[in-house]
Amino acid sequence: MGPKVVETIADLKASLSLNTGSEASVGFVPTMGALHKGHASLVTRARRENDLVVVSVFVNPTQFNDPRDLEKYPRTREADLEVLSKNGADVVWFPLFDEIYADAYRYQVQETELSRVLCGRSRPGHFTGMLSVVTKLLQLVRPSKAYFGEKDFQQLELVRGLVKSFFIPTDIVACETARDEAGLALSSRNARLSPTGLATARSFARELARDERNIATVRAALARLPLEIDYLEDLNGRRFAAVMIEGVRLIDNRPLAFIAKEISP
């Protein structure tokens, strides 16, 4: 038997009330669909750690600053349901736009520092849209734990700050970035690359992973690849990068291991 599929908020709440007791834990994985092994790993962990697993699939238009990017984003409902069924989801929620944004997006959740650097500089409004919808999803599901991948580390940090600032009683669980055999971070965007573009993306991932103290060396290596660098920056002990390859924007980040070595006693 596959997961219970719901769309309306009323059906979501009914499904949650039927499946959870007062002591039951709820694990929540919010997604935008086009699911891959990285998403599957989040669901698998949620299954391992909770009594009930809820997954949302919602291509949130308010976090796309480029309408063309929203238009190109893949919608793969049946394939997504197959992934979720195989990995233990109990409830799959496809939120309805008119319910999520019944206020026509007049009310928004904004952060004023971290959201303005890295991806926030080149994607104005992106993180406001993300934080606004995550707030709504967490309020409606009310999970014990919510699972986010470290590939979107800036998003992860913003969501951590969100639940702390607004006293939302959900533990945010960070999950290690899922990568392919060449070290490329798994992303639904990878499917839009040609074989040549995919090879470039894997070279990008390898260069970013180098334990290089001098970021200029990494920048020079990336400059030799057929890609456009949006940003390459070190922040709070991690190295972040965003690049454009064949018109597809990819992001990645790595912990700066050499910094950890320098501060170790």
CB-count burial class (<10 Å; 0-12, 13-18, 19+) for 214: exposed
Q: Hey, CA dihedral for 200, 201, 203, 208, is it positive or negative? A: positive
Strands 91-93 and 145-149: what pairing? unpaired
E strands present in the chain: 4-6, 26-31, 52-57, 91-93, 145-149, 171-175, 228-235, 238-245, 248-255
Q: Which of 26, 150, 21 is nearest to 89 (CA)?
A: 26
Q: What angle do CA 92, 181, 53 make, to 5 degrees?
A: 15
Residue 137 to residues 30, 109, 142: CA-CA distances in angstroms?
A: 8, 13, 8
CA dist 243 → 6, 201, 248 (Å): 36, 9, 8
In this structure, what DSSP letter does residue 125 have? T
Give the amino acid at 42: L
Q: Residue 167 contacts by C-beta under 8 Å, 6 or more apart in sequence?
A: none
Is residue 39 flagged as an active site residue? Answer: yes
Question: Pick the catalytic residue: 39, 145, 151, 202?
Answer: 39
Give the three-state DSSP class for 119: helix
Are the beta carbons of 147 and 29 closer than 8 angstroms? yes
> Could you list the active site residues?
39
